[in-house]
Amino acid sequence: MGKRLTSRGFIAFGHEDRVPDLIAEVGSRLREGGLTFPETVVDGLENARQAFIDMPSGADTGKTPIRSAR
């Protein structure tokens, strides 16, 4: 069975009065590590091509940043 896409989020428009609450709650969760973002980090620009090729097969998770070797 193929992967299934689910997208969930929130819209703050129309609730501008609650933006300070949003910043307080989301900001603290982000600082404490309660919000995480899945990613597959690829080391070296020489591996970027293969990382791009692997994306449609589901070999990556979330974002795929390419980390340069310094």
Q: How many CB atoms lie within 10 A of CB 2?
A: 5
**Element spanning 51, H or E:** helix 48-54
47 membership: H or E segment, kind and range: none
Domain boundaries, the chain: 37-70
Rounded Cα–Cα distance for residues 3 and 60 (Å): 12
**Looking at the whole model, is its pTM more than 0.85?**
no
**How confident is the model at residue 14, as a pLDDT?**
79
Residue 44: which residues within 8 A CB-CB, separation 6 or more? 66, 67, 68, 69
> In the block, which residue shows the tokens 């070797």?
69
pLDDT given at position 49: 93
Average pLDDT per block of 10 residues along the chain, 70 residues long: 69 80 88 86 93 86 83
